[in-house]
Chains A and B, each alone.
Chain A
Amino acid sequence: MDKSEKTQFRRERLDRGIKARTDTIYAIASFRDMLYLILPRVLPLVLMVVLPLLLGEYWRKVVCYAAVYGLLALSWDFLGAIGLFSLGQALFFGVGAYMAGALNLYFEWPIYYTLPAATLGGALFCTLLLTPVIRLKGVYFAMVTIVIPILFSRTIVAGGIFGGTHGIVNLTPFKSDLLAEYLILFALIGCLFAFRRVIGEDYGLVMHAIRDDDRAVMSAGINIYWRKVQALFVASAVGCLAGAFMCHNYQFVGPSAFSLDYSLLPLAAAALGGPGTFVGAVLGSAILIPLSEALRDFGGLRMVFYCLILIASMILLPEGIFHYIARKYHQFERTVKI
Chain B
Amino acid sequence: MQDEVILQVENLHKSFGGVKATVDVSFQLRRGEFIGIIGPNGSGKTTLINLITGFVKPDAGRVLFKGRAITGKMPYTIAGLGVARTFQMVHMFYNLPAFKNIIIPLCSPRVKTLKGGRYGERDDIAIEILDEYGFERDSFIPYRMVGSLPHGYLKRLDLARAMSLRPEVLLLDELFSGMSMSEVAATLPMLEKLSAQGLSMIMVEHRLRELFRVVSRVIVLNFGAKIAEGLPEEVMKDASVMAAYLGSESQYDCLEMVPSHGAPPPEEQPETRPEAEKILEVKKLTVFFENALAANDISLEVAEGEIVGILGSNSAGKTTLMNAVSGLILDQKKKEDRRGGERIEVRGEIIFRGENITYLKPSDRVKKGMVLCRERHPIFRDSTVLENLRIAGKLRKRLEVKESIAVVFEIFPHLLTLKKRKAGLLSGGEQQMLAIGMALVTRPSLLLLDEPLLGLSPLLQSEVTKALKTISGRGVTILVTEQFARPLIPIIDRGYVIENGIIVMGGTGRELADNPDVRASYLGV
CB < 8 Å: which of A203, A215, A223 contacts B55?
Answer: A215
Select from chain A the residue with minimum beta-carbon distance to B96: A205
CB < 8 Å: which of A10, A202, A206, A209 contacts B288?
Answer: A10
Do the beta carbons of B87 and A223 come within 8 Å of each other?
no
Taking CB atoms, residues of chain A closer than 8 Å to B91 are: 213, 215-216, 219
Do the beta carbons of A327 and B340 come within 8 Å of each other?
yes
The reply to whether the CB of B410 lies closer than 8 angstroms to some CB of chain A is: no
Which parts of B69-113 form the interface with A (CB within 8 Å)?
74-77, 79-80, 84-85, 87, 91-93, 96, 100, 103-111
Per the CB 8 Å criterion, the residue count for chain A at the interface is 35
Shortest CB-to-CB span from B100 to chain A, Å, is: 6
Shortest CB-to-CB span from B287 to chain A, Å, is: 12
A212 CA to B119 CA, complexed, in Å: 22
Taking CB atoms, residues of chain A closer than 8 Å to B55 are: 215, 218-219
Interface segment, B7-15, B210-218, B344-352, B487-495?
B344-352
Do the beta carbons of A219 and B79 come within 8 Å of each other?
yes
Do the beta carbons of A219 and B53 come within 8 Å of each other?
yes
Interface segment, A66-74, A265-273, A287-295, A317-325?
A317-325
The reply to whether the CB of B396 lies closer than 8 angstroms to some CB of chain A is: no
Do the beta carbons of A221 and B338 come within 8 Å of each other?
no
* A206-B107 in contact given A3-B284, A216-B91, A220-B165 (Cβ < 8 Å): yes
Shortest CB-to-CB span from A35 to chain B, Å, is: 25
CB < 8 Å: which of A14, A209, A219 contacts B84?
Answer: A219
- How many A-B pairs with Cβ below 8 Å? 106
A145 CA to B6 CA, complexed, in Å: 44
The reply to whether the CB of A166 lies closer than 8 angstroms to some CB of chain B is: no
Taking CB atoms, residues of chain A closer than 8 Å to B119 are: 201-202
Do the beta carbons of A221 and B110 come within 8 Å of each other?
yes
The reply to whether the CB of A13 lies closer than 8 angstroms to some CB of chain B is: yes
Taking CB atoms, residues of chain B closer than 8 Å to A46 are: none
Do the beta carbons of A209 and B75 come within 8 Å of each other?
no
The reply to whether the CB of B290 lies closer than 8 angstroms to some CB of chain A is: yes
Select from chain B the residue with minimum beta-carbon distance to A217: B104
Do the beta carbons of B92 and A11 come within 8 Å of each other?
no
Taking CB atoms, residues of chain B closer than 8 Å to A223 are: 74, 76-77, 109
Shortest CB-to-CB span from B74 to chain A, Å, is: 7
The reply to whether the CB of B68 lies closer than 8 angstroms to some CB of chain A is: no
Shortest CB-to-CB span from B91 to chain A, Å, is: 4
A1 CA to B283 CA, complexed, in Å: 11
Do the beta carbons of A206 and B104 come within 8 Å of each other?
yes
The reply to whether the CB of A47 lies closer than 8 angstroms to some CB of chain B is: no
The reply to whether the CB of A297 lies closer than 8 angstroms to some CB of chain B is: no
Select from chain A the residue with minimum beta-carbon distance to B293: A338
* A323-B340 in contact given A215-B75, A220-B161 (Cβ < 8 Å): yes
Per the CB 8 Å criterion, the residue count for chain B at the interface is 46
Taking CB atoms, residues of chain B closer than 8 Å to A201 are: 119
Do the beta carbons of B349 and A1 come within 8 Å of each other?
yes
Select from chain B the residue with minimum beta-carbon distance to A12: B291
Taking CB atoms, residues of chain B closer than 8 Å to A216 are: 87, 91-93, 104, 161
The reply to whether the CB of A240 lies closer than 8 angstroms to some CB of chain B is: no
Which parts of B148-190 form the interface with A (CB within 8 Å)?
161-162, 165
Which parts of A171-220 form the interface with B (CB within 8 Å)?
201-203, 205-206, 208-209, 212-213, 215-220
A108 CA to B358 CA, complexed, in Å: 74
Do the beta carbons of B162 and A222 come within 8 Å of each other?
no
The reply to whether the CB of B376 lies closer than 8 angstroms to some CB of chain A is: no
The reply to whether the CB of B66 lies closer than 8 angstroms to some CB of chain A is: no
The reply to whether the CB of A54 lies closer than 8 angstroms to some CB of chain B is: no
Do the beta carbons of B87 and A221 come within 8 Å of each other?
no
Taking CB atoms, residues of chain B closer than 8 Å to A11 are: 333
Do the beta carbons of A221 and B108 come within 8 Å of each other?
yes
Shortest CB-to-CB span from B108 to chain A, Å, is: 4
Do the beta carbons of A324 and B347 come within 8 Å of each other?
no
CB < 8 Å: which of B80, B288, B290, B291 contacts A221?
Answer: B80
Shortest CB-to-CB span from A279 to chain B, Å, is: 15
Taking CB atoms, residues of chain B closer than 8 Å to A202 are: 103, 106-107, 119, 122
Taking CB atoms, residues of chain A closer than 8 Å to B193 are: none
Select from chain A the residue with minimum beta-carbon distance to B349: A1
The reply to whether the CB of B261 lies closer than 8 angstroms to some CB of chain A is: no
A201 CA to B118 CA, complexed, in Å: 11
Do the beta carbons of B347 and A218 come within 8 Å of each other?
no
Shortest CB-to-CB span from B159 to chain A, Å, is: 12
Do the beta carbons of B338 and A316 come within 8 Å of each other?
yes
The reply to whether the CB of A8 lies closer than 8 angstroms to some CB of chain B is: yes
17 other A-B residue contacts (CB within 8 Å) besides A205-B100, A216-B87, A220-B104: A13-B343, A202-B103, A208-B93, A213-B91, A219-B53, A219-B75, A219-B76, A219-B84, A219-B91, A219-B162, A220-B107, A221-B105, A222-B104, A318-B338, A319-B338, A319-B339, A323-B340
Question: Taking beta carbons and an 8 Å cutoff, which residues of A are in contact with B?
Answer: 1, 3, 8, 10-14, 201-203, 205-206, 208-209, 212-213, 215-224, 316-319, 323-324, 327, 338
Q: What would be 5 A-B contacts, judged by CB atoms less than 8 Å apart? A: A213-B91, A213-B92, A216-B92, A221-B76, A222-B109
Across the A-B interface, the 5 shortest Cβ-Cβ residue pairs: A221-B108, A221-B79, A216-B91, A220-B105, A218-B75
